[in-house]
Amino acid sequence: GLGLSFKKDENFGEWYSEVVVNGEMIEYYDISGCYIIRPWAMSIWEIMQTFFDAEIKKMKIKNCYFPLFVSPGVLEKEKDHIEGFAPEVAWVTKSGQSDLEVPIAIRPTSETVMYPYYSKWIRGHRDLPLKLNQWCNVVRWEFSNPTPFIRSREFLWQEGHTAFATKSEADTEVLDILELYRRIYEEFMAVPVIKGKKSELEKFAGGLYTTTVEAFVPNSGRGIQGATSHCLGQNFSNMFDITFENEKGEKAKAWQNSWAYTTRTIGVMVMVHGDDKGLVLPPKVASVQVIVIPVPYKDADTQGIFDACNATVETLSEAGIRAEADFRDNYSPGWKYSHFEMKGVPLRIEIGPKDLANNQVRAVRRDSGAKIDLPRASLVEQVKEILDKIQESLFEAAKQRRDACIQTVKTWDEFVEALGQRKMILAPWCDEVEVEKDVKARTKGEMGAAKSLCSPMEQPEMSEGTICFASGKPAKKWTYWGRSY
């Protein structure tokens, strides 16, 4: 029957797997780590894509499409780009009955697919900046526990790959894109994130530096990388000979960035906002923001109720609100209430005989359960107001829960205690790779080791003489640590 068999606060992993299926976002697939993305989730992806695509077009970034297949030569072009990732690369070795002469890799990311052509297309400084993006799927044959949206062997993303004449142009774009990622999480998904820089150990090895928006999942006490924007420096232009003749006629190497967000965003939103009745969708990303349910009564004016429902959907739709009605007569109103709560529709409108008589509707908020009677005369403004209120309160509630999980520490003992309490830990750190490796080694356990999540762009005051929580050396920067996905 309806309803979840797992409680979010008791069996988070099982709750999550059940809610994405019962909420009709995901269907499990017969190949491990692969999932079917159903319309209820695909529409969320499309709403974000519409926003992000419009924003990058304002930045004169153009969409393109490169092949899915990578020839082995270029993939292995540079060791420390591919090292560590190689086991995740999926290969095509046959077609039909016959083996391929040379196996072909399926793209896990597209640097090595695209950059030989960047080298060909970029000759002079007038060919710069070259700014391309592609919306596509990538495959990474991971073995750690697959989780719908969060960790899958194939996922959808956009990957931006840009080339500039100067470092400062690249540095600026890295942060412009990171701000778009913050907006995706905070303005659309209503999920608070922290903008920061990855440590040397956690950054993309092939790049110069990595910036990130870090989210946090209170129920698991784990941080999660929300999206990344890398400055690649001149590492790839050295590798792929992406050079240009600058204004002084000298040969110069391009400065490059690459940046991505993925379908993981949907999983983070589900984890943060979902409850024991099912999904809770922020109105900005809900393909149905208002569901209208007729509540006919045995001898009441059923046609009048149906007409009022149709008129309500019309009026709201004309005002740009995504509204639908459910007239199915093989389901009871009660069944429909539970069904659309499971799907996380932000606002339900019920119309029964009394509402009809009073020329009003009964609105019910999914996030708080609050019931509000709305006169039909001022319906549009009030529904818009309520939807905005839902969006805002989802963000505020998530921010409060996330902030309650942040612990600032100064010493190793405080760190270990906070980690045991599944916190996101802000600690003064000496920023040395060996020390980070040491923290990982000392916190290894069945829950997984702690790692650095990011050094926040907004650095709190660090008083003179502050020492690193893990090494006792002079601390250089405040850094967030924790277990992560």
Ligand X SMILES: O=C1CCCN[C@@H]1CCCn1cnc2ccccc2c1=O
Taking each helix axis from N to C end, the angle separating 264-273 and 39-58, rounded to the nearest 10 degrees, works out to: 120
Distance CA(339)–CA(40), nearest Å, equals 13
Nearer to ligand X, 111 or 202 (CB): 111
The yes or no reply on residue 155 touching ligand X (CB under 6 A) is no
Q: Is the peptide bond before 103 cis (omega within 30 degrees of 0)?
A: no
State in angstroms the smallest separation of the CB of 259 from ligand X. 5
Phi, then psi, of 313 in degrees rounded to 5 = -60, -45
State in angstroms the smallest separation of the CB of 264 from ligand X. 12
Nearer to ligand X, 151 or 476 (CB): 151
State in angstroms the smallest separation of the CB of 172 from ligand X. 18
The yes or no reply on residue 88 touching ligand X (CB under 6 A) is yes
Nearer to ligand X, 1 or 87 (CB): 87
Nearer to ligand X, 140 or 423 (CB): 140
State in angstroms the smallest separation of the CB of 209 from ligand X. 12
State in angstroms the smallest separation of the CB of 81 from ligand X. 6
- Please state the separation of Cα 263 from the chain's center in Å: 6
The yes or no reply on residue 140 touching ligand X (CB under 6 A) is yes
Q: 395 near 192, Cβ under 8 Å?
A: yes
Q: What is the DSSP letter of 460?
A: P
State in angstroms the smallest separation of the CB of 464 from ligand X. 37
The span of 91-99, 103-111, 120-128, 184-192 binding ligand X (CB under 6 A) equals 103-111
Distance CA(445)–CA(441), nearest Å, equals 9
Nearer to ligand X, 258 or 391 (CB): 258
- Please state the separation of Cα 346 from the chain's center in Å: 20
Distance CA(48)–CA(156), nearest Å, equals 12
Nearer to ligand X, 35 or 115 (CB): 115
Nearer to ligand X, 75 or 321 (CB): 75
Q: How many helices (H) and strands (E) does the chain have?
A: 14, 23
Which stretches of 86-242 are assigned E, i.e. beta strand?
91-95, 98-106, 130-139, 154-164, 194-197, 209-217, 222-233
Candidates 6, 66, 85, 327; binder of ligand X (CB under 6 A) is 85
Nearer to ligand X, 82 or 190 (CB): 82
Task: Give the x/- contact pattern for ligand X in 242-261, rule: CB under 6 A.
Answer: ----------------xxx-
Burial of 295 (0-12, 13-18, 19+ CB in 10 A): buried
User: In DSSP terms, which residues pair with 154 in a beta bridge?
Assistant: 139
Distance CA(252)–CA(246), nearest Å, equals 6
- Site size for ligand X, by CB under 6 A? 16
- Please state the separation of Cα 144 from the chain's center in Å: 19
Nearer to ligand X, 206 or 278 (CB): 206
The span of 31-39, 80-88, 276-284, 427-435 binding ligand X (CB under 6 A) equals 80-88
State in angstroms the smallest separation of the CB of 45 from ligand X. 17
User: Which residues neighbour 470 within 8 Å (Cβ) at sequence distance 6 or greater?
Assistant: 412, 415, 427, 429, 430, 435, 438, 439, 442
Closest CA to 337 of 269, 277, 271, 385: 277
Distance CA(21)–CA(469), nearest Å, equals 42
The yes or no reply on residue 263 touching ligand X (CB under 6 A) is no
The span of 83-91, 129-137, 273-281, 430-438 binding ligand X (CB under 6 A) equals 83-91
State in angstroms the smallest separation of the CB of 261 from ligand X. 9
Nearer to ligand X, 136 or 406 (CB): 136
State in angstroms the smallest separation of the CB of 187 from ligand X. 22
State in angstroms the smallest separation of the CB of 479 from ligand X. 20
The yes or no reply on residue 228 touching ligand X (CB under 6 A) is yes
Q: 314 near 349, Cβ under 8 Å?
A: no
The yes or no reply on residue 76 touching ligand X (CB under 6 A) is no
Phi, then psi, of 62 in degrees rounded to 5 = -110, 145
The yes or no reply on residue 141 touching ligand X (CB under 6 A) is no
The yes or no reply on residue 209 touching ligand X (CB under 6 A) is no
Tokens 């000759």: give the residue. 123
Question: Which residues, 453 to 472, sit near ligand X by CB under 6 A?
Answer: none
The yes or no reply on residue 159 touching ligand X (CB under 6 A) is yes
User: In DSSP terms, which residues pair with 309 in a beta bridge?
Assistant: none
**Residue at 53: amino acid letter:** D
The yes or no reply on residue 109 touching ligand X (CB under 6 A) is yes
Interface residues with ligand X (CB under 6 A) are 81-82, 85, 88-89, 108-109, 111, 140, 159, 204, 228, 230, 258-260
